Amino acid sequence: MENQTTNATQKRLRIFGDDEIQALYGRPHFTDDERLEYFALVPTEKAPLEQLHSIKSRTYFILQLGYFKSYHLFFVFDLPEVEEDARYVQAQYFPDFQLDDLDITKVTRLRQQSLILELFRYRICDAEQRQALAAKAC
């Protein structure tokens, strides 16, 4: 293992390169077949869409949901970053809507993430739980 440093003040050992970090933790880049799989909605996934008011918000939700199904992580993105996926979702679910941007508020994004966590019966780890896990690890 080589210790890669970008400057003299860096103290961390770098095991993975940028490409490997991106592959593990970066937003997925789907093929056409993967879009079919990850952006398909089962009835329980369609129900939260009714709580969202705008087509833009619903599109963002479907994108977040698909990415979460794939990586079990959430990502913040805008239209240029996810244009192919967004166009697929728009054509699949909202063909009469012209998608110009994906700008939603942070409150809306976090609410959507909460809905997705509920769908998969996940929960956010709070400070008390992190402390208990740290104690158990020691």
* pLDDT tens-place string over residues 58-76: 999 999 999 999 999 999 9
Q: Taking Cα atoms as reference points, which of 116, 110, 66, 113 lies closest to residue 86?
A: 66
> Which strand (E) or helix (H) includes residue 37?
helix 32-38
Report yes or no: 27 and 70 within 8 Å, Cβ to Cβ.
no
Give the pTM: 0.81
| Residues 104-130, mean pLDDT to the nearest whole number | 92
CA distance from start to end of the chain: 27
For residue range 1-44, what is the model confidence (pLDDT) as tens digits? Answer: 444 445 555 677 788 887 877 777 778 999 999 999 999 999 99
